[in-house]
Amino acid sequence: MKAIQRNSKVRTGFHQAKWDEPIIFELTQKGERGIQVAGTEPGIRDRVGDGIDSIPEQLRRKIPPALPEISQPRVLRHYMRLSQQTLGADVNIEIGQGTCTVKYSPKINEMLARLPQITELHPLQPEETVQGIMEIFYKTDCFLREISGLDRFSFQPGGGSQGILTIASVFRRYFEVKGEAEQRNEIITTIYSHPSDAAAPAVKDFKIIYIGPDSDGYPDFEAFKAAVNERTAGFIVANPEDTGVYNPKIKDFTDLIHASGGLCGYDQANANGLLGVTRAKEAGFDMCFFNLHKTFSTPHGCGGPACGATGAIKRLEPFLPGPHINAIEGNDGKQRFAFDRTFDDRSIGKVRSWYGVAPVVLKAYAWIMSLGAEGLYETAKVAVLNNNYLFRKLMEIPCVDAPYIRGKQRVEQARYTLEKLTKETGITSGDIQRRIMDFGLHYWTSHHPYHVPEPFTLEPTETPSKEDLDEYIATLKHIFEEAYNNPDIIKTAPHRSSSHQVDSSWSDDPERWAITWRCYLKKTRQV
């Protein structure tokens, strides 16, 4: 076996664990147990029953659930093996998740969130016993107000898409209250905004109107003018878009919407480069959301506990999901925190249970506190600097190009095209995505459908160092050279990753796709 390769930035010796581990339902052995739960002791049973009899008869299962029956060591081994087959943020240079890249989440913040003072809290506890976490919610709200210029934030939405759904719901409710809901049923967005900016309003029964880029690559203002009319309820847009293009004339867009009686919602999922630079308020937005799990460092766990903190201007505050937390003066003259439980029938109601994911808000609070206002601005500058460096270096590679705003700067991410590489070698961007896993890295193409041919999207954030970026660039170069000299190795990739070539035709076929084990068994006629 070779020693560690030190003369190259490219990890040609990378080899990921591959355990061929079955899925947990296949591991089941009848009668095998992780824990033997002791029965209720006779004395207790006689006095209060066995626990089960307190459940009403009609709610009790007749047949036990078909859960896997497995011993503790086997469960442990199962999940340890799976964890070795992931390529998580702690082991790879995390810039290749495209527009979903997460920045480093300091481990100390993870430790804070795991303190029993947080994990043992219950949302139904009396207010006076949870003043600490209420203060953290309140102060994080205040930070976001300052960062955005808006007047109140709700932490209820569990992610970005739910944040957009909250914005769309507020828009819908606002026009219902005004008596214009039937007339105003169109939401305008741009094709390079996140797909949720269209999908979430569609859930609220809005018709979606898309605007494409103009010849310079900015959202086409002339098309926008043609889109706005008396049916327009609002405009929901990402800026910068996923191409990294920032629309400097955004105020003209929001002004036009306001002039026609509509509302403006800002998808701030791409805000890494904007902290302390621009604000939603000055750009004319009535609402916005931030992904705490992205811009404010708290990681997202594969759609898991996250937070799309959603804010509104004063006029729309009553429409937000509640309750809000207010700072009030207590009887002793000291500041304390209280839920505002006043019922306002204009509110859209809850979009998620309780108040939002408390550990996520805590981690964002800790991150903001550790940096301060100057620190936040510094992270934005470094995120942009990192993107500029990556962009320049990649554009020096002949087969890489990036459409739109030639010669001008992107913000904190960019969408590139490998059209030339594909034409010359037959290797597609999707092929590169599989091959790069052989070097322990991620890579993301784009949302579908591809508007940029053979796309890839990189968002470096402020986290990676110059050395990290250089490794990523060197790895891409290495693979591009393979495309010209040894394309077969790419076509048959991955070779050293836990992953394998996935036959994605299944995901296109309603007869075959399965999103649960039970569904898979049904469709493959095993049950």
Partner 1 sequence: MFCLGLIVNPIAGMGGRVGLKGTDGLAEKARQLGAIPMASIRAGRAVKGLSELRGDLLILSAPGEMGETVAKETGLSVKVLDMAPGDPTTAADTRRAAEMLKREGVDLILFAGGDGTARDICEAVGESVPAMGIPAGVKIHSPVFSRTPEAAGELILSIIRSRVEGKGPLFNLQEVLDIDEAAYREGYCNTALYGYLKVPAARQMQGRKAGSQISESGAQNQIALDFIDRMVENRYYFVGAGSTTRPIMENLNISHTLLGVDVILNRSLVKRDASEQEILQITQGMPYTIIITPIGGQGYLFGRGNQQISPELIQKAGKENIWIGATLQKIGTLKGEPFLVDTGDPETDRLMTGYVRVTINYHQEMIYPVA
Residues that bind partner 1 (CB under 8 A): 191, 198, 202, 206-213, 215, 220, 222-224, 226-227, 426, 428, 430, 446, 448-451, 453, 503-505, 508-509, 511-512
CB of 426 to partner 1, least distance (A): 5
Q: Compute the least distance from the CB of residue 235 to partner 1, in Å.
A: 13
* Nearest to partner 1 of 68, 195 (CB atom): 195
Our CB check for partner 1 shows the closer of 150 and 211 to be: 211
Q: How far is the CB of 440 from partner 1 (least distance, A)?
A: 26
Q: Closer CB to partner 1, residue 206 or residue 246?
A: 206
**Nearest alpha carbon to residue 399 among 487, 284, 330, 331:** 487
Contacts of 483 (CB under 8 A, 6+ apart): 399, 421, 425, 427, 431, 432, 490
Q: Which is nearer to partner 1, 84 or 183 (CB)?
A: 183
Q: Which is nearer to partner 1, 208 or 371 (CB)?
A: 208
Report in angstroms how near the CB of residue 196 gets to partner 1 at its nearest. 14
Nearer Cβ to partner 1 (209/274): 209
CA distance between the termini of the chain: 47
Could you tell me whether strands 152-154 and 186-190 are parallel, antiparallel, or unpaired per DSSP bridges? unpaired
Report yes or no: 9 and 474 within 8 Å, Cβ to Cβ. Answer: yes
Contact 302, 323 (CB under 8 A): no
- When the beta carbons of 332 and 508 are compared against partner 1, the nearer one is 508
Q: Provide the minimum distance between the beta carbon of 170 and partner 1 in the complex, in angstroms, as a whole number.
A: 20
Q: CA torsion sign, 146 to 94 to 199 to 307?
A: negative
| Nearest distance from C-beta of residue 226 to partner 1, angstroms | 4
398 vs 426 by CB, closer to partner 1: 426
R_g of the chain, CA atoms, integer Å:
26
Which residue stretches of 343-485 are H helix? Answer: 358-395, 419-425, 429-435, 466-485
* Tokens describing residue 235: 């405009």
- 140 token code pair: 């994080």
CB of 412 to partner 1, least distance (A): 24
Sign of the C-alpha dihedral, residues 92, 94, 96, 100?
positive
Q: Which of 419, 412, 366 is nearest to 385 (CA)?
A: 412
Identity of the residue, 352 or 434, whose beta carbon is nearer to partner 1 in the bound complex? 434
CA–CA gap between residue 134 and residue 104 (Å, rounded): 26
CB 390 within 8 A of CB 464: no
Cβ atoms of 451 and 494 closer than 8 Å: no
Which CB sits closer to partner 1, 202 or 519? 202
CB of 187 vs partner 1, minimal distance in Å: 10
Q: Which residues, 6+ apart, have CB-to-CB distance to 65 below 8 Å?
A: none
Q: Which amino acid is at 149?
A: G
139, 285 Cβ separation under 8 angstroms: no
The nearest distance, CB 180 to partner 1, in angstroms, is 19
Task: Give per-residue burial for 242-259: e unless 16+ CB within 10 Å, then b.
Answer: bbbbbbeebeebbebbee
Provide CB contacts within 8 A for 56, sequence distance 6+: none
Is residue 56 within 8 A of residue 64, CB to CB? The reply is no
Contact 231, 184 (CB under 8 A): yes
Beta-carbon-side half-sphere exposure of residue 102 (alpha carbons within 13 Å): 21
Taking alpha carbons only, the member of 338, 354, 296, 307 closest to residue 135 is 338
Shortest Å distance, C-beta 423 to partner 1: 11
The whole-angstrom separation of Cα 18 and Cα 246 is: 42
* Shortest Cβ 472–partner 1 spacing (Å): 24
- Looking at the Cβ atoms of 106 and 453, the one nearer to partner 1 is 453
| 386/446 with CB nearer partner 1 | 446
The Cα–Cα gap between 386 and 397 comes to 17
Instruction: Tell me how far, at minimum, the Cβ of 478 lies from partner 1, in Å.
Output: 23
